[in-house]
Amino acid sequence: MKILFDQEQIRQGITQLGSKLNEQYGQSPITVVAIMTGSLVMLADLIRCLEMPLRISLIRASSYRGGISSGELHVEELQRLDIQDRDVLLIDDIFDTGKTLLEVSKRLEDLRPRSLKTAVFLNKQGTSQVQLKPDFSVFDIPNKFVVGYGLDYDDYYRNLPYVAVLEPSDLEQHHAASR
């Protein structure tokens, strides 16, 4: 696997994002809404860089139901989303077509937060299909399929402490090993 960002680079990137958010919000309380499962690792690291009082809400978003991609996004609250009049920071692992972030943002806006900002760990270049842009991103990446630091292939690899490009030879190994 070709490593794009190692542990130290990621630590620095997340710390920088934390500083920007501390500057942005000061001591105003925020609600961090994290899209599971991809943003789990980012969530855990980022919140420990944040200095304001904060609450966490988890949601799950998927375009799959019963194994078939419907193209329609299914959003599931894993905790009650109590965000009316609150400053909300929505986080996700990666911005690819942007459809997930756009759709989840719309659902959150319906709940009338005081403000809504979005932060992603990775921003894939040249793949967006929406007008929305994330307010914050840690790294830009080329249009490659990556895993690690929360990002999965077939629900595996989320535990890698680095971000790597998954290449065809890795896939053969994966299918041999995870059977």
Q: How far is the CB of 79 from ligand IMP (least distance, A)?
A: 19
Residue 96 touches ligand IMP, criterion: CB under 6 A: yes
Stretch that binds ligand IMP, among 8-16, 82-90, 92-100, 104-112 (CB under 6 A): 92-100
Residue 92 touches ligand IMP, criterion: CB under 6 A: yes
For Mg ion, the closer of residues 64 and 172 by Cβ is 64
Q: Which helix (H) or strand (E) holds 88?
A: strand 87-95
Q: Which of 87, 92, 93, 96 is catalytic?
A: 96
Residue 94 touches ligand IMP, criterion: CB under 6 A: yes
For Mg ion, the closer of residues 40 and 52 by Cβ is 40
Partner from Mg ion, ligand IMP, none binding residue 10, C-beta < 5-8 Å depending on class: none
For Mg ion, the closer of residues 46 and 61 by Cβ is 61
- Write the DSSP string, the chain: -EEEE-HHHHHHHHHHHHHHHHHHHTT--EEEEEEETTTHHHHHHHHTT--S-EEEEEEEEEEEETTEEEEEEEEEESS----TTSEEEEEEEEESSSHHHHHHHHHHHHT--SEEEEEEEEEETT---SS---SEEEEEE-S--EEBTTB-BTTBSTT-SSEEE--HHHHHHHHHH--
Residue 38 touches ligand IMP, criterion: CB under 6 A: yes
Instruction: Give residues 31-60 in contact with Mg ion (rule: CB under 5 A).
Output: 38
The binding site for ligand IMP (CB under 6 A) comprises: 38, 92-100, 145-147, 151-152
